[in-house]
Structure 1
């Protein structure tokens, strides 16, 4: 589902489609020679290719794809990008994925003008992921020792090197993760509805 979602106004309503139809799907009036109430707007997808999102926190469904399977109750997986791969923690330890994160939610962690941090990022992430606490000897635990703990611990390590305060799990989740999950969930519902009903 890589189609763009387009919003236009007609008959006093906002209508969402993958393309402008010949007739208004709500009222049936032809749109050919008639002017729309305002110019159509493309709704940006909340999903991106995580392999192209450098120095970012990524969220993807553990299985499947957001647009088709994400329903707000799906298990999610998190990772951190460097300039080449996505680091993520699983039951088999730290993985460095070169593919598989092509459609995910991406949260940039570094401002583009933070050159010193960007130049050190790969080294920090490689060193962090090689730490003993992330190898297979430690037991993966869904509540205490998981992909989210891996990513948030790394973020807090970087904040410490920048002499900034660490973020609690609740702070990071509420400020950065939940708003993007909600937007992605709404977008997924919108795409499913358009696919089923054409608008």
Structure 2
């Protein structure tokens, strides 16, 4: 399922707990009071999806589940993630045991971390050339692949560091990049996946806050 096709997740607040649903109900599932015409403490909010269509991202670091599963279509939260880098046309460069791939499809539902801001005109102009030249290096031949030490993440981070070096900036370690950029996004994605799974099985998902007083 592509990001644009995701069913909306809406958060409603009425009598204390957060009520997550696909559409606001007639009655509050927590207290049973009518919601139509009720003075809600906050307007129902549609939660923004943490997933993006990877082929529409320019100069971005992408993550998606390895294999055919999508984040909202069978991902169990424990399977490995695959990493890629987009050029300015949304072509996704990625590395595995078969070498470098330049994917035109398959990354329609991803976590996306922008690497190039729209106002970085000089870098945007060079990005595709830098990415292609880097990917043609012998380090990324198929026989050099090693699942734990020379993989898709190694490839993506090495490219990012090559760009940082060319700009005279300090390189980033894997742990630094992961903690600063990847973990905040995967935490958001994990919460959204939980809500999606709950609402696939049930009409509502209610999160109670013990410090809030019940109101109706």
TM-score, normalization: structure 1?
Answer: 0.95
Out of 162, 171, 179, the position equivalent to 1:174 is: 179
Out of 66, 84, 87, the position equivalent to 2:93 is: 87
Q: How far did residue 95 of structure 1 move?
A: 0.2
Correspondence 1:118-133 to 2 at 5 A? 118-133=124-139
1:88 partner SS: strand
* Structure-2 separation of matches of 1:164 and 1:121: 16
Aligned to 1:62: 66
Out of 21, 27, 32, the position equivalent to 2:31 is: 27
Out of 146, 154, 169, the position equivalent to 1:164 is: 169
Q: Which has the higher contact order (CA 8 A, sep 6+)?
A: 2
| Greater Cα shift, 55-64 or 19-28 | 19-28
Give the superposed CA RMSD: 1.2
* Structure-1 separation of matches of 2:99 and 2:159: 15
Check whether the contact 1:56–1:109 (CA below 8 A) recurs between aligned residues.
Answer: yes
Q: How far did residue 17 of structure 1 move?
A: 0.9
1:57 partner SS: strand
Q: How far did residue 15 of structure 1 move?
A: 0.9
Provide Cα deviations, 1:103-146, integer angstroms capped at 9, x if missing partner: 0000000121110000000000000001111122x332111110
Q: How far did residue 75 of structure 1 move?
A: 0.6
Q: How many residue pairs were aligned?
A: 198
Aligned to 2:123: 117
Q: How far did residue 69 of structure 1 move?
A: 2.9
Out of 15, 20, 28, the position equivalent to 1:11 is: 15
Could you tell me which runs of 5 or more consecutive residues in structure 2 were left unpaired when the two chains were aligned: 205-216
Aligned to 1:102: 108
